[in-house]
Structure 1
Amino acid sequence: MTITTTEAPAPARTRTRPRRTGGKGGQALRTVGVYAVAVLLGLGVWQLVAVKYGPSLVASPSQTLSAARELAADGTLGNSVIASSRRILIGWGLGVVVGAPVGLLIGQIRIVRLLLEPYTEFFRFIPPVAFVTLAVVWLGIGESSKVVLIFYTAVFIVTLNTSAGVMAVDESKLRAAASLGASRRQILQRVVLPSTVPYILTGARLAMGNSFLTIVSAEIVAAQVGLGSLIWTSRNYGRIDWVFVGIITLGVLGLVYDRILRVIATRVLHKYGAKV
């Protein structure tokens, strides 16, 4: 008599994914760590270059830090940062406020595009530095000349990016909204504007970067206070360490403003699907 036995099937092995430890906090720490390493490497290269060429050509990190403390102690650095920041924010803000609506009109209304296109295509190729002398002659050496130059820098960048975003909207979306009975205003608010917001944000960020280029030129020519004026005055006195302080302050200030703009855009305009 033969007895057969059947064994119970072995339980199937389930693959388990390894749990990620740390989550967003760990990722943030890794990001900070990478940034710290990058900064330390940059400081190391800077120190080596300073040792090779000497303080008369390249100020070392320690010399630059000492000069920054010196300029901060007598208020020169703080006043320069405040003056340049005020001019940049006013001119850039006006450029965004004017450029975005104009870009929407250019992108949506053909006759407006035909009327303004010759001017936008002409003036965007003339750098703001070319108008520094005229701005000083027409508006004086006060704040107006600097603000107008930064506005000129920002407005065309924002306008062109906004109009490009409007013209990139999918025609099928516009036709679908119109077939459902949406008015021109509703189409603008619910279809065109959400699709254009990323372009506006990109234009605003590019305009911010170019505003820093313009402010240095404007303050070198006609300003008693400001980071551009600080750099130029330092050069006249032969203080290379002061020049480095002005340059590094410009970079740090630009980085801070760009980060703030990205955070605000991400949180406030997240409903439009903007990725910045």
Structure 2
Amino acid sequence: MTVVAAGATATGTDRRSIRTGVRTLRTAGVYILSVLAGVGIWQLLAMKYGPSLVASPSQTLSAARELASDGTLTNSIIASSRRILIGWGLGVLVGVPVGLLVGQIKVVRQLLDPYIEFFRFIPPIAFVTLAVVWLGIGESSKVVLIFYTAVFIVTLNTSAGVMAVNESKLRAAASLGASRRQILLGIVLPSTVPHIVTGARLAMGNSFLTIVSAEIVAAQVGLGSLIWTSRNYGRIDWVFVGIITLGILGFVFDRVLRIVASRVLLRYGVKL
């Protein structure tokens, strides 16, 4: 009987593995077909409008090799990635605790709400000139603009998560003698983690929007600077390289964030 049960278990495990493999292959196949269809449409548009308006996939690939050979593309990727990660990381580090305070403490919410509601509607690009005047054309101006982009998004999502916590859970914990710190760590924070992750992902996407405008105005190296310089030289193929690189970089950053966040959320039974 033991041998039969072990064999049945092994067979069930094999079947699950096969089903998982089939699903993985199917997903990969859909992704590949989607990419091929996109490249095909891109090629048709390039054939219709010509290289002066739309660079073809082959021309873009050749331009990417050209920019990579002299280090321009690599340096641009490193510079933009560094600015995004530092500014976004600072935005998350500041936005999460501020959001927790805003969501939990009414007085803090009343004090900060007018400023949050005022500044979050002013786009970062409006502050580009001031950032350059105040902080110069160095790294600080770009990092501060990305921080400005990220911090309000993370704060709002975190505070929304705190205020969405079931009130009955908070009352039950308080009636059992839990301190404010215990309630925060045991109930509020676990319930708010999905909102924090969502805010971090949205902030990451908006950071990519900000980095282009910031680098166009005040940077010699970076993907935004590459796109602007390419435009000045009339190199549409270089512009396409910069745009596509931004998209790929954003996809990779978001994918890594999702993988890391999914492991954190798994502890709380939440899927991303």
Aligned residue type for 2:125: V
Q: Deviations over 1:135-160 (max 9, x none)?
A: 00000000000000000000000000
The amino acid that maps onto 2:271 is K
Q: Deviations over 1:221-267 (max 9, x none)?
A: 00000000000000000000000000000000000000000000111
Question: Matches of 1:118 and 1:222 in 2, distance apart?
Answer: 30
Q: CA offset at residue 24 of structure 1? A: 1.6
* Paired AA for residue 150 in structure 1: I
Structure 1 segments of 4+ aligned residues over 6 angstroms from their partners: none
Q: Which residue matches 1:63?
A: 59
Who wins on radius of gyration, i.e. which is larger? 1
In 1: Cα distance, 2:270 partner to 2:197 partner:
8
TM-score between both structures, scaled by the size of structure 2: 0.93
Q: What is the CA–CA distance in structure 1 between the aligned matches of 2:227 and 2:16, rounded to whole Å? A: 49
**Secondary structure at the counterpart of residue 113 of structure 2:** helix
Aligned to 1:85: 81
Q: Which runs of 5+ in 2 are unaligned?
A: 1-14
Q: Which runs of 5+ in 1 are unaligned?
A: 1-18
- For residues 43-122 of structure 1, what are the structure 2 equivalents within 5 Å? 43-122=39-118
Specify which structure has the higher proportion of helix: 2
**Contact (CA 8 Å) 2:87, 2:145: kept in 1 or not?**
yes
TM-score w.r.t. the length of structure 1 is 0.92
Contact 1:197/1:274 (CA < 8 Å) preserved in 2?
no
Please state if 1:207 is matched with 2:203: yes
Pairwise CA RMSD: 1.0
Structure 1 counterpart of 2:250: 254
Instruction: State the SS of the aligned residue for 2:267.
Output: helix
- The answer to whether the aligner puts 1:220 opposite 2:216 as a matched pair is yes
Alignment pair present for 1:264 and 2:242: no
Between the aligned partners of 1:271 and 1:22, the Cα distance in structure 2 is: 27
Residue identity over aligned pairs, in percent, reads 83
| Deviation digits for residues 29-85 of structure 1 (CA, Å, limit 9, x no counterpart) | 111110000000000000000000000000000000000000000000000000000
Once the two structures are TM-superposed, the CA of residue 20 in structure 1 deviates from its matched residue by: 6.7
- Whether 2:170 is the aligned partner of 1:143: answer no
Query: Of 24, 39, 43, which residue of structure 2 is paired with 1:28?
Result: 24
**2:158 aligned residue:** 162
Residues paired across the two proteins, number? 258
Matching residue's letter, 1:169: V
SS at match of 1:272: coil
Q: Paired residue for 2:194?
A: 198
Find the aligned partners of 1:104 and 1:113 in 2 and give their Cα distance.
10
Is 1:244 matched with 2:235?
Answer: no
